[in-house]
Amino acid sequence: MSQALATDTPGAPAARRGRPWALPAAAAATALLLALSLSIGAFDILGDDFGAEMFWITRVPRTIALVLAGAAIATSGLVMQVLTQNRFVDATTSGTTEWAALGLLLTALLLPDIGLVGKMLISSASAFVGAMVFMGILRRVVIRTTLVVPLIGIMLGAVVSALTTFIAAQFNLLQMLGTWFLGSFGEIVRGRYEVLWVVALVTLGVFLMADRITVAGLGKDLATGVGVRYEAILIGGTALVAVAAGVTTVVVGFLPLLGLVVPNVVSMIRGDSVRSNLPWVVLGGVALVTLCDIIGRTVNMPFEVPVSLVLGVVGSIVFVALLLRQARGGTK
């Protein structure tokens, strides 16, 4: 197994056994962030006549959407990193989100009357095709350094994004496309967010497949040798990533680098045990996207800064820090 995906760093298991309070404390901190999210809004839920009603129409659905999207995108990023044996890969740096946007655009052009569920299915299918194209390219090129993998994904995503932009410009849909790229929870209300419960199945699927995904990350020969159906796990794991990317793109837009930042930060703190890190990745994804959303809602009140902009800044800083950390370590 590569250094990037070692089972555990020295001393990490002992540290985890010595701090049984750490996970409950992290869960409590995340719950406080969610409570803060519920308390922020334009309506005075105690003083306005319709404040209590608006609380259930807007704030509760928005907070639930933060939980579902944050958990799914973070865990799907972990899946991508394990399957590619590369820390710098997630739906953003593999081009998967750009493929999801292309599918959504084609849906708007060819099937304009299709419902939200139909858009979700087509966008997820397009994201799956893109993820498999990315995986196929990786299997056919010689990887001499870990940085080549995200570069391939970023270049692939740039090509798909350029094609999407060109098509949108031809049909005067650039404004619609811009809305998808600016991920925001500002439009989440009761009756619009419910399809996001589908991505809860992504998080559950990652928990159920965690051990087999870990073995598949060791490589085809070793996985096959221990009785794991490598191709099936590869396709299944990629499908989970595609569903997370497709559904969140349809409902809230892009959440850039969330799936890259959270698994890496968790791994730096706790080591690389995939199964034991999953609860932390879920909590980290929820906490980070909620914190960025709170910042976006409060920094320029009563206006909102899209959460994707805040996430992009945070993610870019962490991504550069990871690159510098690897350069100092001299790993390949």
Q: Say which range, 97-101, 118-122, 147-151, 200-204, has the weakest mean pLDDT.
A: 147-151
Q: Is the pLDDT of residue 69 over 70?
A: yes
Confidence of residue 165 (pLDDT cuts 50, 70, 90): very high
pLDDT of residue 17: 46
pLDDT digits (tens, 9 = 90+) for 104-135: 999 989 998 888 888 889 999 999 999 999 98
Confidence of residue 139 (pLDDT cuts 50, 70, 90): confident
Q: Are 216 and 235 in contact (CB under 8 A)?
A: no
pLDDT of residue 287: 94
Q: Say which range, 13-17, 50-54, 185-189, 253-257, has the weakest mean pLDDT.
A: 13-17
pLDDT of residue 49: 66
Q: Is the pLDDT of residue 7 over 70?
A: no
pLDDT of residue 8: 43
pLDDT of residue 156: 92
- Helix (H), strand (E) at residue 213: helix 198-216
pLDDT of residue 2: 41
Confidence of residue 285 (pLDDT cuts 50, 70, 90): very high
Alpha-carbon distance values, 86 to 6, 9, 217 (Å) = 11, 16, 10
Confidence of residue 46 (pLDDT cuts 50, 70, 90): low
| CA 161/CA 330 separation, integer angstroms | 33
Q: Say which range, 20-29, 182-191, 231-240, has the weakest mean pLDDT.
A: 182-191
Q: Is the pLDDT of residue 332 over 50?
A: no
Task: Give me the residue label for tokens 């404004």.
Answer: 175
Which CATH number does the domain housing residue 125 bear? Answer: 1.10.3470.10
pLDDT of residue 249: 85
Q: Are 195 and 63 in contact (CB under 8 A)?
A: no
Q: Say which range, 254-258, 260-264, 272-276, has the weakest mean pLDDT.
A: 272-276
**Tokens matching residue 72:** 């799914």
Q: Is the pLDDT of residue 91 over 50?
A: yes
pLDDT of residue 47: 63
Q: Which domain holds residue 8?
A: 3-329
Nearest to 322, CA basis, from 152, 183, 150, 76: 150
Mean residue pLDDT across the chain? 84
127: Cα within 13 Å, side-chain hemisphere? 32
Q: Is the pLDDT of residue 15 over 70?
A: no
Alpha-carbon distance values, 38 to 59, 75, 201, 251 (Å) = 6, 24, 24, 20
Average pLDDT of the segment spanning 177-181: 75
Rounded to a whole number of angstroms, the CA Rg of the chain reads 20
Contacts of 35 (CB under 8 A, 6+ apart): none
Q: What is the pTM of this model?
A: 0.84
| CA 108/CA 110 separation, integer angstroms | 6
Tell me how many domains the chain contains: 1
pLDDT over 70 percentage in the chain: 89
pLDDT of residue 302: 77
> What residue spans of the chain are helical by DSSP H?
12-17, 22-39, 51-54, 60-84, 96-110, 116-138, 148-170, 174-181, 198-216, 220-225, 230-251, 258-270, 274-298, 307-329
217: Cα within 13 Å, side-chain hemisphere? 28
Nearest to 312, CA basis, from 254, 248, 242, 246: 254
Peptide bond connecting 302 to the previous residue in cis, omega within 30 degrees of 0: yes
Average pLDDT of the segment spanning 299-326: 83
